[in-house]
Amino acid sequence: MPTIKEVLQKSSSMLSRSVINPKKEAMILLREWIKKDEVFLITHDDFEVSDVDGFFEWVKRRAEHTPLEYITQKVSFCSKEFVVEEDVLVPRPETEILVDKTLNLIKEYNAVRVAEIGTGSGVISIMLALLSPQIKIDATDISSKAIEIASINARKFGVEDRIKFHLTSYLDGVESPQILVSNPPYISKKEELEKHVLNEPHNALFGGEQGDEILKEIVLLAKKLNILALACEMGYDQKHSLENFFKNNEIKNYLFYQDLSGFDRGFIIKG
């Protein structure tokens, strides 16, 4: 059987044309495969690896631009490890800011009823439930796979009794909440994306021709239902379009926020 050193050399070579840091990603994959930490891989490079054919299938998938998280079926979000699988969007670090903004709204309004549109793997609703034990959450998605994965994650963290997942569009059939949060599809169909991103579900990525169409629908829905506050993530280039939309629809109490890189990343509207 080949050693860790030999396996890492071969897998790094296989990944060299597909990823920015092939050595790092080879180590991440092998660490997951043999269930050892990085220190073990470095200090035991003569350790023999079993079932290498299966491991190299993982490497092949990554070389073909399958997101790393789909291969390991793990993603880190807010310092916790969630289950993620194909057909569900991979949560991004910038969405942790949306969680923080929503938590502030929950505290400000002393809210107990929260809803999320487009829950995906459930990470936003689950973190809100963990950090605000007084709230009940209705989380919706149009993907049955998303509802399945989100339910798995809710059970993993013991909040399944406080989050009700709905296979539905927007808030159809759901009681109007006090606070609404959403990280909906907001990428324009015209935007060119990296290959690994295109391997994620398109209905969770693309928000329409301009990209912000679903965001605008959510804003109008929140206004119609007299929701106390709405927090949404958005595209970095959508502030001008959304600001004009808010003004045209007499929405005055809004503010935009930026991510850690200084890009416009979301907005909050208070009723």
| Torsion region of 109: left, alpha or beta (phi above 0 gives left; psi -120 to 50 gives alpha) | alpha
Of residues 45 and 77, more confidently modeled: 77
DSSP secondary structure code for residue 203 in this structure:
G
Asked if pLDDT for residue 201 goes beyond 90, the answer is: no
Q: Determine the 3-state secondary structure of 166 from DSSP.
A: strand
Question: How far is it, in rounded angstroms, from Cα 119 to Cα 125?
Answer: 7
Asked if pLDDT for residue 268 goes beyond 70, the answer is: yes
**pLDDT at position 189, please?**
59
Phi, psi angles (nearest 5°) of residue 166: -125, 125
Matching residue, tokens 């290959």: 195
Q: Give the chain's count of helices (H) and strands (E).
A: 11, 11
**pLDDT at position 211, please?**
78
Sequence-ordered list of residues with C-beta below 8 angstroms from that of 134, at least 6 positions apart, any chain: 112
Asked if pLDDT for residue 80 goes beyond 60, the answer is: yes
Show me where the domains of the chain are located.
Answer: 4-64, 95-270
Strand 229-233: give its sheet, edge to edge.
163-167, 136-141, 113-117, 179-182, 229-233, 264-270, 254-258
Question: How far is it, in rounded angstroms, from Cα 61 to Cα 67?
Answer: 9
**pLDDT at position 190, please?**
59
Sequence-ordered list of residues with C-beta below 8 angstroms from that of 246, at least 6 positions apart, any chain: 219, 252, 254, 269
Mean pLDDT of 266-270: 98
Question: How far is it, in rounded angstroms, from Cα 98 to Cα 66?
Answer: 26
* Residues 21-75: tens digit of each pLDDT: 999 999 999 999 999 999 999 999 899 998 899 999 999 999 999 999 999 999 9
What residues are paired with 80 via a beta bridge? 77
Mean pLDDT across the chain: 92
- Tell me which of 1.10.10.10, 3.40.50.150, 1.10.645.10, 2.160.10.10 is the CATH number of domain 95-270: 3.40.50.150
* Residues 163-193: tens digit of each pLDDT: 999 999 999 999 999 999 999 987 765 566 5
